[in-house]
Amino acid sequence: MHSQGFLVPYYFNFRSAGALPKLRKALVAELINEIKKYKIDVIAGVESAGMGWAAIVADRLNKPYVYVRKERKKFLNRRIVEGCFKPGARAVLIDDTILLGKTIRSMAMGAKRDKLQITNILLLYTAQPSVAIYTTLSRWLNKQHIAIKALLSKIELSDLFIKQGTLIPEIVELNNMYMINPYGWHKLRRAQKLLLILRKHKRKFRPAGL
């Protein structure tokens, strides 16, 4: 079950990437190479998936580090941005991925009210949103003068996992249905058929809801 209340075909736990030294080193190097192209003053991490990556990158680049909360703090300084920075500072916001974009928009606007200007959003991977969701998010980001980029795509990662035997094609097909219709994918006839197939693989693959 997703935190926003809908079923997902499988849990894509990319957050564990930080536990693998070689992969962590490679991803940090790619983040740094990309950020060097930006004109920013601060490295910001999304609470909580982006915080660790942003902290490592900030240390390597000798830049100030802050993190952005999903909700404004309701006591003491009542800020959404935690950390020290000059008012009007430009920042890159690092996260693992974006699905619907609602949270990241709220964070960007909250940071702006705290006088931190998010100019770039950098993701470890893109979650392959539907065309409608992607178009809506892109338009909003363009109006806010925020550029967004991902190091990898979920399609690329899924293809790699299939080749490695980590995923079976049925799960990938279900995931594509889910990305198009997050709230109703599991009600489709084709999805029901695929779920029956996956029950045969339940010892190795455990999609949500089975």
Give, in order, the Cα–Cα distances in Å from 66 to each of 46, 52, 76, 94.
Answer: 9, 11, 17, 11
pLDDT of 149 above 70: yes
More confident residue, 87 or 154: 87
- What are the tens digits of pLDDT across the range 171-183? 888 888 887 787 8
Mean pLDDT of the chain: 86
Q: Domain 38-151 belongs to what topology?
A: Rossmann fold (3.40.50)
Average pLDDT over residues 180-203: 83
pLDDT value, residue 207? 39
**Listed residue (30, 169, 143, 158) closest to 94, CA to CA:** 30
pLDDT of residue 138 exceeding 50, the answer is yes
- The answer, as to whether pTM is greater than 0.75, is yes
Q: Indicate the pLDDT class of residue 203, thresholds 50, 70 and 90.
A: very low
| CA nearest to 147, candidates 98, 103, 65, 92 | 92
